[in-house]
Structure 1
Amino acid sequence: MQIREATAEDWPAIWPFFHTVVAAGETFTYPTDLPEEQARSWWLLDAPDRTVVAVDESTGTILGTAKTNANQRGNGAHVASASYLVDPAHEGRGVGRALCAHTLDWARTAGFRRMQFNAVVETNTRAVGLYRSLGFEILGTLPEGFRHPRHGYVGLHVMHRAL
Protein backbone atom coordinates (compact mmCIF):
# COMPACT_ATOMS: atom_id res chain seq x y z
CA MET A 1 0.00 0.00 0.00
CA GLN A 2 1.23 3.45 -0.90
CA ILE A 3 0.07 6.63 0.81
CA ARG A 4 0.38 9.75 -1.30
CA GLU A 5 -1.03 13.25 -1.64
CA ALA A 6 -4.59 13.25 -2.95
CA THR A 7 -5.29 15.11 -6.17
CA ALA A 8 -8.48 16.44 -7.72
CA GLU A 9 -8.32 13.45 -10.09
CA ASP A 10 -8.73 11.11 -7.09
CA TRP A 11 -12.12 12.53 -6.12
CA PRO A 12 -14.20 10.35 -8.48
CA ALA A 13 -12.74 7.27 -6.73
CA ILE A 14 -13.16 8.75 -3.22
CA TRP A 15 -16.72 10.04 -3.61
CA PRO A 16 -18.55 6.68 -3.83
CA PHE A 17 -17.21 5.36 -0.52
CA PHE A 18 -17.24 8.82 1.08
CA HIS A 19 -20.92 9.09 0.21
CA THR A 20 -21.67 5.54 1.42
CA VAL A 21 -20.01 6.09 4.80
CA VAL A 22 -21.40 9.58 5.41
CA ALA A 23 -24.93 8.69 4.22
CA ALA A 24 -25.00 5.76 6.68
CA GLY A 25 -24.84 8.37 9.44
CA GLU A 26 -22.96 6.16 11.90
CA THR A 27 -19.49 7.70 12.19
CA PHE A 28 -19.30 11.28 10.88
CA THR A 29 -20.99 14.45 12.09
CA TYR A 30 -21.46 15.50 8.46
CA PRO A 31 -25.01 15.84 7.09
CA THR A 32 -26.10 12.48 5.67
CA ASP A 33 -27.32 14.24 2.52
CA LEU A 34 -24.09 16.21 2.00
CA PRO A 35 -23.91 17.27 -1.67
CA GLU A 36 -20.90 16.04 -3.61
CA GLU A 37 -19.39 19.47 -4.34
CA GLN A 38 -19.57 20.48 -0.69
CA ALA A 39 -18.13 17.13 0.36
CA ARG A 40 -15.26 17.61 -2.04
CA SER A 41 -14.45 21.08 -0.70
CA TRP A 42 -14.61 19.81 2.90
CA TRP A 43 -12.36 16.81 2.21
CA LEU A 44 -9.78 17.86 -0.39
CA LEU A 45 -7.82 20.41 1.62
CA ASP A 46 -5.40 23.02 0.35
CA ALA A 47 -1.93 23.55 1.85
CA PRO A 48 -0.89 23.96 4.55
CA ASP A 49 -3.54 21.35 5.37
CA ARG A 50 -3.24 17.97 3.69
CA THR A 51 -5.35 15.19 2.19
CA VAL A 52 -3.87 11.81 1.28
CA VAL A 53 -5.05 8.56 -0.27
CA ALA A 54 -4.00 4.98 0.44
CA VAL A 55 -3.56 3.14 -2.84
CA ASP A 56 -3.20 -0.56 -3.62
CA GLU A 57 0.07 -0.48 -5.54
CA SER A 58 -0.76 -3.51 -7.67
CA THR A 59 -4.17 -2.30 -8.88
CA GLY A 60 -4.11 1.46 -8.36
CA THR A 61 -7.34 1.19 -6.35
CA ILE A 62 -7.89 3.87 -3.71
CA LEU A 63 -8.50 2.01 -0.45
CA GLY A 64 -9.02 4.96 1.84
CA THR A 65 -8.24 8.59 2.48
CA ALA A 66 -7.33 10.95 5.31
CA LYS A 67 -7.21 14.66 5.86
CA THR A 68 -5.03 16.48 8.37
CA ASN A 69 -5.34 20.08 9.46
CA ALA A 70 -4.81 22.44 12.38
CA ASN A 71 -7.52 21.77 14.95
CA GLN A 72 -7.78 25.49 15.75
CA ARG A 73 -6.33 28.71 14.41
CA GLY A 74 -4.10 31.26 16.10
CA ASN A 75 -2.69 30.21 19.46
CA GLY A 76 -4.26 26.74 19.11
CA ALA A 77 -2.74 26.02 15.70
CA HIS A 78 -0.03 23.78 17.18
CA VAL A 79 -2.62 21.02 17.67
CA ALA A 80 -3.47 18.91 14.61
CA SER A 81 -6.65 17.06 13.83
CA ALA A 82 -7.39 14.37 11.26
CA SER A 83 -10.26 12.41 9.77
CA TYR A 84 -10.16 9.04 8.06
CA LEU A 85 -12.34 7.22 5.55
CA VAL A 86 -11.71 3.63 4.53
CA ASP A 87 -13.67 2.14 1.65
CA PRO A 88 -15.93 -0.47 3.33
CA ALA A 89 -14.89 -2.93 0.59
CA HIS A 90 -11.33 -2.76 1.96
CA GLU A 91 -11.92 -2.76 5.72
CA GLY A 92 -9.82 -5.05 7.87
CA ARG A 93 -6.68 -4.73 5.74
CA GLY A 94 -4.83 -2.22 7.93
CA VAL A 95 -5.74 0.78 5.78
CA GLY A 96 -7.05 2.85 8.70
CA ARG A 97 -3.99 2.05 10.83
CA ALA A 98 -1.64 2.98 7.99
CA LEU A 99 -3.48 6.24 7.33
CA CYS A 100 -3.52 7.16 11.02
CA ALA A 101 0.19 6.39 11.46
CA HIS A 102 0.95 8.42 8.34
CA THR A 103 -0.96 11.47 9.55
CA LEU A 104 0.72 11.27 12.97
CA ASP A 105 4.15 11.22 11.32
CA TRP A 106 3.25 14.05 8.96
CA ALA A 107 1.82 16.21 11.77
CA ARG A 108 4.92 15.66 13.92
CA THR A 109 7.21 16.56 11.02
CA ALA A 110 5.08 19.63 10.23
CA GLY A 111 5.69 20.92 13.78
CA PHE A 112 2.43 20.07 15.50
CA ARG A 113 2.75 19.15 19.19
CA ARG A 114 -0.46 17.15 19.65
CA MET A 115 -3.21 15.45 17.66
CA GLN A 116 -6.82 15.86 18.78
CA PHE A 117 -9.96 14.22 17.48
CA ASN A 118 -13.01 16.32 18.35
CA ALA A 119 -15.85 13.92 17.65
CA VAL A 120 -15.23 10.17 17.75
CA VAL A 121 -18.58 8.41 17.99
CA GLU A 122 -18.43 6.11 21.02
CA THR A 123 -20.22 3.28 19.19
CA ASN A 124 -17.49 3.32 16.51
CA THR A 125 -15.57 0.80 18.58
CA ARG A 126 -13.18 -0.18 15.79
CA ALA A 127 -11.97 3.40 15.44
CA VAL A 128 -11.82 3.97 19.20
CA GLY A 129 -9.79 0.76 19.58
CA LEU A 130 -7.45 1.71 16.75
CA TYR A 131 -6.83 5.18 18.13
CA ARG A 132 -6.20 3.82 21.63
CA SER A 133 -3.74 1.28 20.22
CA LEU A 134 -1.85 4.19 18.64
CA GLY A 135 -1.60 6.06 21.94
CA PHE A 136 -4.72 8.22 21.94
CA GLU A 137 -6.60 8.80 25.18
CA ILE A 138 -10.21 9.77 25.68
CA LEU A 139 -10.19 13.20 27.35
CA GLY A 140 -13.93 13.31 27.78
CA THR A 141 -17.23 12.29 26.27
CA LEU A 142 -20.11 14.57 25.38
CA PRO A 143 -23.15 12.51 26.43
CA GLU A 144 -25.74 12.20 23.67
CA GLY A 145 -23.57 14.32 21.39
CA PHE A 146 -24.36 12.19 18.32
CA ARG A 147 -27.70 10.94 16.98
CA HIS A 148 -26.92 7.45 15.71
CA PRO A 149 -29.47 6.00 13.25
CA ARG A 150 -29.66 2.65 15.12
CA HIS A 151 -28.51 3.34 18.68
CA GLY A 152 -30.18 6.71 19.23
CA TYR A 153 -28.27 9.37 21.11
CA VAL A 154 -24.74 8.24 21.93
CA GLY A 155 -21.62 9.97 23.20
CA LEU A 156 -18.91 11.77 21.25
CA HIS A 157 -15.37 11.27 22.52
CA VAL A 158 -12.68 13.92 22.41
CA MET A 159 -9.41 12.01 22.00
CA HIS A 160 -5.80 13.17 21.93
CA ARG A 161 -2.17 12.19 22.05
CA ALA A 162 1.18 13.94 22.15
CA LEU A 163 3.32 13.90 19.04
Structure 2
Amino acid sequence: MSIRRATDDDWPHIWPFFDEIVRAGETYAFPLDLTIETAQPWWMDENTVVLEEDGVIMGSAKMGPNRPGRGAHIGTASFMVSPAARGRGVGRRLAAYALTWHRDAGFAGIQFNAVVETNTAAVRLWRDLGFEIIGTVPGAFDSATHGRVGLHVMYRDI
Protein backbone atom coordinates (compact mmCIF):
# COMPACT_ATOMS: atom_id res chain seq x y z
CA MET A 1 0.00 0.00 0.00
CA SER A 2 1.25 3.47 -0.81
CA ILE A 3 -0.04 6.96 -0.08
CA ARG A 4 0.37 9.78 -2.56
CA ARG A 5 -1.13 13.14 -3.40
CA ALA A 6 -4.49 12.80 -5.15
CA THR A 7 -4.88 14.08 -8.70
CA ASP A 8 -7.97 15.04 -10.66
CA ASP A 9 -7.65 11.68 -12.44
CA ASP A 10 -8.23 9.95 -9.08
CA TRP A 11 -11.59 11.59 -8.43
CA PRO A 12 -13.64 9.17 -10.59
CA HIS A 13 -12.17 6.35 -8.48
CA ILE A 14 -12.82 8.10 -5.14
CA TRP A 15 -16.35 9.18 -6.07
CA PRO A 16 -18.03 5.75 -5.85
CA PHE A 17 -17.03 5.16 -2.23
CA PHE A 18 -17.41 8.85 -1.32
CA ASP A 19 -20.99 8.69 -2.62
CA GLU A 20 -21.71 5.38 -0.89
CA ILE A 21 -20.41 6.65 2.45
CA VAL A 22 -22.28 9.95 2.28
CA ARG A 23 -25.54 8.29 1.22
CA ALA A 24 -25.25 5.71 4.03
CA GLY A 25 -25.88 8.61 6.39
CA GLU A 26 -23.72 7.41 9.27
CA THR A 27 -20.54 9.49 9.24
CA TYR A 28 -20.64 12.67 7.13
CA ALA A 29 -23.02 15.61 7.07
CA PHE A 30 -22.42 16.45 3.42
CA PRO A 31 -25.39 17.44 1.24
CA LEU A 32 -27.27 14.35 0.06
CA ASP A 33 -27.83 15.63 -3.47
CA LEU A 34 -24.17 15.75 -4.47
CA THR A 35 -23.17 14.56 -7.92
CA ILE A 36 -19.73 13.55 -9.13
CA GLU A 37 -19.25 17.15 -10.28
CA THR A 38 -20.62 18.98 -7.23
CA ALA A 39 -18.92 16.68 -4.70
CA GLN A 40 -15.43 17.12 -6.06
CA PRO A 41 -14.83 20.56 -4.46
CA TRP A 42 -16.00 19.18 -1.10
CA TRP A 43 -13.18 16.61 -1.10
CA MET A 44 -10.42 17.37 -3.57
CA ASP A 45 -7.84 20.03 -2.82
CA GLU A 46 -4.06 20.38 -2.74
CA ASN A 47 -3.84 18.43 0.53
CA THR A 48 -5.94 15.41 -0.48
CA VAL A 49 -4.17 12.06 -0.65
CA VAL A 50 -5.10 8.55 -1.71
CA LEU A 51 -3.99 5.18 -0.45
CA GLU A 52 -3.67 2.67 -3.25
CA GLU A 53 -2.65 -0.91 -3.65
CA ASP A 54 -1.93 -2.47 -7.03
CA GLY A 55 -3.45 0.58 -8.74
CA VAL A 56 -6.73 0.41 -6.76
CA ILE A 57 -7.63 3.40 -4.59
CA MET A 58 -8.70 2.02 -1.23
CA GLY A 59 -9.10 5.24 0.73
CA SER A 60 -8.55 8.96 0.77
CA ALA A 61 -7.84 11.71 3.27
CA LYS A 62 -7.66 15.47 3.21
CA MET A 63 -5.73 17.61 5.64
CA GLY A 64 -5.20 21.24 6.44
CA PRO A 65 -5.81 23.98 8.97
CA ASN A 66 -8.96 23.67 11.06
CA ARG A 67 -9.60 27.43 10.90
CA PRO A 68 -7.99 30.30 9.00
CA GLY A 69 -5.92 33.10 10.44
CA ARG A 70 -5.29 32.85 14.17
CA GLY A 71 -6.70 29.31 14.25
CA ALA A 72 -4.49 28.00 11.46
CA HIS A 73 -1.94 26.44 13.85
CA ILE A 74 -4.43 23.64 14.62
CA GLY A 75 -5.00 21.15 11.83
CA THR A 76 -7.90 18.93 10.89
CA ALA A 77 -8.45 16.01 8.59
CA SER A 78 -11.20 13.91 7.03
CA PHE A 79 -10.96 10.29 5.97
CA MET A 80 -12.89 7.90 3.75
CA VAL A 81 -12.14 4.23 3.30
CA SER A 82 -13.73 2.22 0.54
CA PRO A 83 -16.19 -0.28 2.07
CA ALA A 84 -14.42 -2.98 0.05
CA ALA A 85 -11.15 -2.18 1.87
CA ARG A 86 -12.42 -1.98 5.45
CA GLY A 87 -10.62 -4.07 8.03
CA ARG A 88 -7.32 -3.93 6.15
CA GLY A 89 -5.67 -1.08 8.08
CA VAL A 90 -6.36 1.58 5.44
CA GLY A 91 -7.83 4.05 7.93
CA ARG A 92 -4.97 3.55 10.38
CA ARG A 93 -2.36 4.08 7.62
CA LEU A 94 -4.10 7.24 6.43
CA ALA A 95 -4.34 8.46 10.03
CA ALA A 96 -0.63 7.86 10.64
CA TYR A 97 0.15 9.71 7.41
CA ALA A 98 -2.04 12.64 8.50
CA LEU A 99 -0.33 12.85 11.89
CA THR A 100 3.09 12.96 10.24
CA TRP A 101 1.90 15.44 7.61
CA HIS A 102 0.57 17.83 10.27
CA ARG A 103 3.70 17.47 12.42
CA ASP A 104 5.98 18.12 9.42
CA ALA A 105 3.87 21.14 8.42
CA GLY A 106 4.33 22.68 11.88
CA PHE A 107 0.81 22.34 13.29
CA ALA A 108 0.49 22.40 17.10
CA GLY A 109 -2.39 19.94 17.24
CA ILE A 110 -5.22 18.30 15.33
CA GLN A 111 -8.89 18.86 16.00
CA PHE A 112 -11.72 16.80 14.58
CA ASN A 113 -14.89 18.85 14.75
CA ALA A 114 -17.51 16.20 14.09
CA VAL A 115 -16.79 12.55 14.86
CA VAL A 116 -20.16 10.79 15.00
CA GLU A 117 -20.38 9.06 18.37
CA THR A 118 -21.91 5.91 16.83
CA ASN A 119 -18.94 5.61 14.45
CA THR A 120 -17.24 3.36 16.98
CA ALA A 121 -14.45 2.24 14.63
CA ALA A 122 -13.35 5.86 14.10
CA VAL A 123 -13.69 6.79 17.78
CA ARG A 124 -11.62 3.73 18.76
CA LEU A 125 -8.95 4.51 16.15
CA TRP A 126 -8.62 8.15 17.20
CA ARG A 127 -8.41 7.20 20.88
CA ASP A 128 -5.76 4.57 20.04
CA LEU A 129 -3.78 7.34 18.33
CA GLY A 130 -3.93 9.65 21.34
CA PHE A 131 -6.96 11.80 20.57
CA GLU A 132 -9.26 12.82 23.40
CA ILE A 133 -12.95 13.58 23.29
CA ILE A 134 -13.02 17.15 24.57
CA GLY A 135 -16.76 17.57 24.16
CA THR A 136 -19.86 16.13 22.56
CA VAL A 137 -22.64 18.12 20.94
CA PRO A 138 -25.78 16.12 21.78
CA GLY A 139 -28.04 15.19 18.89
CA ALA A 140 -26.02 17.17 16.36
CA PHE A 141 -25.95 14.42 13.72
CA ASP A 142 -29.02 12.80 12.21
CA SER A 143 -27.87 9.21 11.69
CA ALA A 144 -29.85 7.23 9.13
CA THR A 145 -29.82 4.24 11.51
CA HIS A 146 -29.78 5.70 15.02
CA GLY A 147 -31.60 9.00 14.66
CA ARG A 148 -30.07 12.03 16.33
CA VAL A 149 -26.75 11.21 17.95
CA GLY A 150 -23.89 13.25 19.32
CA LEU A 151 -20.90 14.64 17.50
CA HIS A 152 -17.61 14.39 19.36
CA VAL A 153 -14.98 17.09 19.14
CA MET A 154 -11.68 15.25 19.41
CA TYR A 155 -8.20 16.71 19.86
CA ARG A 156 -4.57 15.70 20.04
CA ASP A 157 -1.45 17.77 20.62
CA ILE A 158 1.38 17.23 18.17
Q: TM-score, normalised by structure 2?
A: 0.98
* Aligned-pair CA distance for 1:29: 1.2
Q: Distance in 2 between matches of 1:125 and 1:17?
A: 19
Q: Percent identity?
A: 56
Q: d(CA) in 2 for partners of 1:159 and 1:148?
A: 19
Q: Could you tell me how far 1:150 is from its partner in structure 2? A: 1.3
Look up the SS of the partner of 2:37 in the other structure.
Answer: helix
Counterpart selection for 1:53 from 50, 66, 72:
50
5+ residue gaps, structure 1: none
User: CA shift at 1:43, angstroms?
Assistant: 0.7
Q: Distance in 2 between matches of 1:108 and 1:43?
A: 22
Mapping for residues 81-160 of structure 1, pairs under 5 Å? 81-160=76-155
- Secondary structure class of the residue paired with 1:12: helix
Equivalent-residue separation in structure 1 for 2:22 and 2:131 (angstroms): 24
Question: Structure 1-normalised TM-score?
Answer: 0.95
1: CA distance, partners of 2:26 / 2:39: 17
Give the SS at the match of 2:111. strand
The 5-angstrom pairing of residues 63-78 of structure 1 reads 63-78=58-73
1:125-146 deviations in whole A, cap 9, x for unaligned?
0000000000000000000000
Q: CA deviation at 1:32?
A: 2.2
Unaligned 5+ runs, structure 2: none
Is the CA contact 1:24–1:32 (under 8 Å) kept in the aligned structure 2?
Answer: no
Count residues with an aligned counterpart: 158
The SS at the match of 1:143 is strand
1:4 and 1:139 mapped to 2: Cα distance?
31
CA distance in 2: counterparts of 1:73 and 1:37, whole angstroms: 26
Amino acid at match of 1:34: L
> Partner letter of residue 48 of structure 2?
T
